Amino acid sequence: MIEPKHGHIILYSYLWAREHDQGEESGRKARPTCVMLIVVGKDGRQKPLLFPITSQPPRPGAHYVEIPETEARRAKLYTPAWVIVDEFNTDDLATSWALEDAKPLGQFTRKFMSRIAAEAAAAIRVGAVRSVPRR
């Protein structure tokens, strides 16, 4: 079982919104994923917002934050890399089969998480965010 914390980087089988739209139910591969806000569902369980991290340049028009080299080192990631903030998965990590490893790979600093949160908020304001619930 994992106790998710804001800023943790976990290895998670992320399901992209475009894959979900095509009827897929599981992510194609495990990838580093950033744990953002942690919300409590109607059932009282924690469900973090999980933002994907990619080494592929973001598509035009995407909302993202490039990960600086120092943050990447702290989180044990390679550069170049980006946190995509215009889509996220929600999941109960305590029971999730999509979680590859309960131990976080690393963690972003509060300052960098503030940048990610600001960009996610900007995407929300323009209606550009997609949520993919995993159960």
- Encode pLDDT of 95-131 as tens digits: 888 998 778 999 999 999 999 999 999 999 999 999 9
Q: Which residue has the higher pLDDT, 1 or 73?
A: 73
- Which residue type does 6 have? H
**Cα angle at 54 between 130 and 109, to 5 degrees?**
90
The token pair at 82 is 């980006």
Give domain 8-133's CATH architecture. Answer: Roll (2.30)
Task: Find where tokens 């690393």 sit.
Answer: 106
What is the dihedral angle through the alpha carbons of 98, 106, 72, 113, rounded to the nearest 10 degrees?
90
The pTM score is 0.91
- Which residue type does 69 have? E
Domain spans, the chain: 8-133
Confidence (pLDDT) at 2: 62
